[in-house]
């Protein structure tokens, strides 16, 4: 499968921006769960975490696109299932383990892990237009093969 690099970049940007919206909505509960005051979080954000987050989203989108292709399940449904399994098998388990050892409250774990589930599903949806074209092309090729077989069978009769 050819990876659509433009779709990967779009998925990465969408995932990155979703984080901004997610923590805008859940920011108060997240800060309370960490025991932080708003004033502590109002400082200017250092650039390094933003760069790391952007690169991480790009890698995640690329890996999700590759995973969907290698599983030969390049459909919208297959993408959502892949995103969910990646989340539950790798993201949720890692976040929950790290937060447990760090003594972080479960509400923070729920917010952080929920964010990554939303990111993975959004990335899959961003990758889906190219996936649905591949799915349609695959169906068309399958129909063409079936028509050819049918013609051979009817020609023999």
Range of the domain at 28: 5-156
- Give the pLDDT score at 21: 95
Q: How far apart are CA 152 and CA 91, in angstroms?
A: 51
Domain count for the chain, please give it: 1
Q: Which residues contact 37 (CB under 8 A, 6 or more apart)?
A: 31
How does the average pLDDT of the chain come out, rounded? 83
- Residue 134, pLDDT above cutoff 80: no
Question: What 3-state class would DSSP assign to 79?
Answer: helix
Between 152 and 44, the higher pLDDT residue: 44
Query: Looking at residues 3-15, what average pLDDT do you find?
Result: 93
- Residue 116, pLDDT above cutoff 70: yes
- Residue 119, pLDDT above cutoff 70: yes
Q: Which of 2-6, 46-50, 140-144 has the lowest mean pLDDT?
A: 140-144
Percent of the chain clearing pLDDT 70 (strictly above): 79
The CB density around residue 70, as the number of other CB atoms within 10 Å, is: 11
């Amino acid at each position: 499968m050819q990876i659509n690099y433009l779709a990967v970049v779009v998925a990465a940007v969408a995932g990155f921006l979703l984080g901004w919206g997610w923590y805008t909505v859940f920011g108060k509960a997240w800060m309370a769960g960490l025991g932080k005051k708003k004033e502590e979080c109002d400082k200017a954000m250092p650039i390094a975490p933003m760069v790391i987050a952007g690169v991480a989203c790009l890698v995640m989108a690329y890996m999700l696109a590759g995973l969907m292709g290698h599983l030969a399940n390049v459909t919208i449904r297959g993408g959502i299932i892949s995103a969910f399994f990646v989340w539950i098998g790798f993201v949720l388990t890692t976040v929950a383990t790290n937060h447990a050892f760090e003594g972080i409250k479960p509400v923070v774990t729920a917010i952080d892990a929920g964010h990554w589930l939303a990111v993975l599903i959004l990335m899959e949806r961003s990758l889906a237009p190219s996936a649905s074209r591949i799915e349609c092309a695959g169906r068309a090729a399958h129909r063409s093969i079936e028509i050819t077989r049918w013609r051979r069978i009817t020609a023999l009769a």
